[in-house]
Structure 1
Amino acid sequence: MSTTEQLSFDEDLVDADLKPYYWVNQSNALVNTKQNLSINERRLLYVLVSLVQPEDRDFKTYVLQTKELASLFGISESGFYERIRETVHGLNSKPLTINRTNENNKVVIDDIYWVQRATYNDGQITIKLSEDLAQFLIDLKSYTKYQLYNVLKLKSEFSWRIYELLKERERFGSRIFEVAELREKLAIEDGKYKTMSNFRAVVLDRAKKEIEEKTDIKFEYKVHKKVGRSIKSFIFFIYKNPKNVKTNLINEAITYDIQSILNLLITKGIRRDKAVELIKKYPPKYIEENLRYVIRMEEKGLENLPGYIVSAIENNYAESHYELDFEESLLQLAIGNADNRLKEKTEKDIRDLEELYDHFINVISKSKIQTKEEIEEIKIEMERTLFKKMDDISEYRKTHSHPPLLEDDFESSKIKSYFSKWLIRYKEELPY
């Protein structure tokens, strides 16, 4: 790839709404690869990764405001627009190198670029992740998950990488690394930090201090095995670090999690009351693990997708280990808020459609039209107008991450038959 710059993008663009509590989900295979990225390269990369959603089938093209990026990174805006282009070029000058065995049982090397293409214009960047990264970020079976705010303020790339490597094994409480293995994963050149005292002081101890100061975990480590007088491996003991939970973010973050999961459940055809019942009973990350499991199974042509989702959650098909990691009262408040907002939005959309319907019925009843043909023309125009309004509502809900309107929402509505007809006509075109 000779350049990451592109004059235009053919696909639809998505204005990225950047939040520090968004989740980074990446395969454990990616976590354990050798990576040699600078802090700003990692920050930009994982902001993009945090925008990838569990239900995504491919990568979207995002428009990022460089002013928002600078604020999220916690650095000055001065000169940042120019530096961001350098950051993208820096990313693609350090491809992800994967060794694999081909069909002839020979080892081949794949260089995977991080960014597919990017355009810089008027204080913003339009950017898309490399499609070759999809295997590490989409349709995940075994993955590591953390919130952006834990890593964006880290100043050492070693701290970030050690944080990720330990997060992968957090639920087990420990991880063993051979020294050579750890140096490889951290992309430390052979000539750097050669003495063990230097390696421990500059890499491990500094990372230990920064991770404890800024993230949701902390660790201790000690020698695991020696060969003669040389240290062969270390064992790291991983602990939760509740003092660094961002209390100023937690309410908004929980609400976001609940809203996202509620929307996804309803989008997959589950009635709103059942979706609310599920999120009241099970932790958000537990539900997400099981939703990911079902999304992977969806391609096999499940006959009753909503029923399978409910069964997967209630029986933990994904074998999720997630537990509730915040106060029950905060969860219930977030569920109530999300459910109320969705009800209000749905009621307003249906009310707007019914007002359109009433307008046309009123025109027919008060007009002096005598022929059936003229009345039929008004009815055709009414249907056309209702369908256009339904199109607009559908598009708004999609772009604002709201679930689509369902037939159940129109159970007692006077326009139920019109919605059913619209749904049949446009079902194959809907992005849900």
Structure 2
Amino acid sequence: MTVVTQVEQLSFDEDLIEADLKPYYWVNQSNALVNTKQNLSINERRLLYALVSLVQPEDKDLKTYVLQTKDLANLFGISESGFYERIRETVNGLNSKPLTITRAKENNKFVIDDIYWVQRASYDEGQITIKLSDDLAQFLINLKSYTKYQLYNVLKLRSEYSWRIYELLKERERFGKRIMEIKELREMLAIPDDKLNLMKNFRAVVLEKAKKEIAEKTDIRFEYEVHKKVGRSIHSFVFYIYKNQKNINKTIDEESLDYDIQTILNLLITKGIRREKAVELVKNYPPKYIEENLRYVLRMEDKGLANLAGYIVSAIENNYAESTYEKDLDNSLLQLAIGNVDSRLKERTEQDIMDLESLYDYFLEVINKSKVSTKEEIDHIKNEMQTTLFKKMDDIYEYRKGHRLPPLLEDDFEKSKIKSYFKKWLTKHREELPY
């Protein structure tokens, strides 16, 4: 006799976010993570950093994402056939290679922490629900020193050595060079002691291959030379890092530029800067420049800045972060992107307010046309109206957050008949809102 047992499907406790992966999403990770020993395969790195690219600067914790396997396959540039099982194998592979962190204690003692990359994954036909380990949050959220690059720079790399060298050089890109000892570089690339011991082989398999592939596929290129010798042995190399302008121009398109502008506007407006001023700043300064100065201020936020928005504006206009980013994009393309984003944002805001006012008008009409006469009956309808408006405001907030749009602000309701209701909604949600 066959016994069939029905097993209740496990579910995540957190709210699930339907993730829409794009190759131009930004990877932000702490410099500490960049400089750790990592021994991940190319597919493991592709999945890991696709997830990292979904983490937003304003996030307070790591989220749970629902990803379509076909989207992942397209992003990785491989066939969808059999990809479902490959993803599961990739997740298992990631967690078989934990990130190892050594912490110093008193009396010259050390503690070794093994941090697993993925906290949990669930597989269904055609999709995967996945969350990065909470222990990784320290390397991905509220970053003080970080390395930043867009996914498309690394997704086409075929060598894990190329990917790691790319990250190590991106960390020092602004300085134009990086000096690395051979021992240190081998450690970060997780090259075993018994592999590639001959310098000729090391240079051919690791350095020369990375130099060629990085120049062909990413936004930087590099040259290198011997920095120091000990006896006849090479002790360290110096790497000279250059912008790879031909690839930068090739990968910039309207959609990716719109995304950058929208992300920066979202950050500025969320921090209390009026939309008109935020647009003005984006018109006058490049996105990376703005972000560096914004992060500079946010690192000081816990010091109790009296006027956070004002200080952010001052920081951007006076370059408190001493950012070296310049406007290296065609100005007409940048202005077109700003105009597109600003126009879409205004249209969305007008539509959201119109939808809310329509609800308000509906309830006023119910009151005017109904036969209710007592104060209690009218108050009941008004309470129902407020509840409905608040629910709609909740939905609008979540939609805009999920689509990386700036939230509605009190200024948006300056001429609206429901301004008082929006102020009440803000008061009710003040502690959980990021602005």
TM-score after normalising by structure 1: 0.93
- Alpha-carbon separation, structure 2, partners of 1:229 and 1:357: 82
Q: Does the alignment pair 1:292 with 2:292? A: no
User: Structure 1 136/385 Cα, relative in aligned 2: closer, same or farther at 3 Å?
Assistant: closer
Q: How do 1:101-120 residues align onto structure 2 when only pairs under 5 Å count?
A: 101-120=104-123
SS in structure 2 opposite 1:98?
Answer: strand
- Aligned partner (choices 200, 203, 210) of residue 203 of structure 2: 200
Tell me which residue corresponds to 2:353: 350
**Which amino acid is 2:268 matched to?**
L
Gapped regions of structure 1 (runs ≥ 5): 1-5
Tell me which residue corresponds to 2:173: 170
CA distances 1:342-400 after superposition (whole Å, capped 9, x unpaired): 11111111112222223333344455655555444443433333333223222322222
- Alpha-carbon separation, structure 1, partners of 2:192 and 2:280: 53
How big is the shift at 1:37? 0.8
- Aligned partner (choices 212, 216, 221) of residue 215 of structure 2: 212
Q: Is the CA contact 1:226–1:232 (under 8 Å) kept in the aligned structure 2?
A: yes
Q: How do 1:7-406 residues align onto structure 2 when only pairs under 5 Å count?
A: 7-245=10-248, 247=250, 249-367=252-370, 370-406=373-409
Q: Is the CA contact 1:154–1:160 (under 8 Å) kept in the aligned structure 2?
A: yes
How big is the shift at 1:38? 0.6
User: Structure 1 177/347 Cα, relative in aligned 2: closer, same or farther at 3 Å?
Assistant: same
How big is the shift at 1:258? 0.6
TM-score after normalising by structure 2: 0.92
Q: Is the CA contact 1:55–1:292 (under 8 Å) kept in the aligned structure 2?
A: no
SS in structure 2 opposite 1:51?
Answer: coil
Q: Is the CA contact 2:271–2:434 (under 8 Å) kept in the aligned structure 1?
A: no
User: Structure 1 27/379 Cα, relative in aligned 2: closer, same or farther at 3 Å?
Assistant: closer
How big is the shift at 1:35? 1.0
- Alpha-carbon separation, structure 1, partners of 2:117 and 2:63: 14
Q: Is the CA contact 1:159–1:206 (under 8 Å) kept in the aligned structure 2?
A: yes
- Give the share of equivalent positions with the same residue, in percent: 79
- Alpha-carbon separation, structure 2, partners of 1:369 and 1:158: 75
- Alpha-carbon separation, structure 1, partners of 2:184 and 2:411: 55
CA distances 1:177-230 after superposition (whole Å, capped 9, x unpaired): 222221111111111111111111111111111111111111112222222322
RMSD: 2.0
User: Structure 1 105/379 Cα, relative in aligned 2: closer, same or farther at 3 Å?
Assistant: same
User: Structure 1 121/299 Cα, relative in aligned 2: closer, same or farther at 3 Å?
Assistant: farther
- Alpha-carbon separation, structure 1, partners of 2:292 and 2:115: 27
**Which amino acid is 1:318 matched to?**
A
SS in structure 2 opposite 1:245?
Answer: helix
**Which amino acid is 2:142 matched to?**
D
Q: Is the CA contact 2:117–2:136 (under 8 Å) kept in the aligned structure 1?
A: yes
What count of residue pairs does the alignment treat as equivalent? 427
Tell me which residue corresponds to 2:411: 408
- Alpha-carbon separation, structure 2, partners of 1:123 and 1:78: 11
Q: Is the CA contact 1:354–1:414 (under 8 Å) kept in the aligned structure 2?
A: yes
Q: Is the CA contact 1:54–1:292 (under 8 Å) kept in the aligned structure 2?
A: no
**Which amino acid is 2:418 matched to?**
I
SS in structure 1 opposite 2:255?
Answer: helix
SS in structure 2 opposite 1:428?
Answer: coil
Gapped regions of structure 2 (runs ≥ 5): 1-8
CA distances 1:53-87 after superposition (whole Å, capped 9, x unpaired): 11112111111111111110111112111011111
- Alpha-carbon separation, structure 2, partners of 1:12 and 1:375: 36
- Aligned partner (choices 413, 425, 432) of residue 422 of structure 1: 425
User: Structure 1 371/251 Cα, relative in aligned 2: closer, same or farther at 3 Å?
Assistant: same
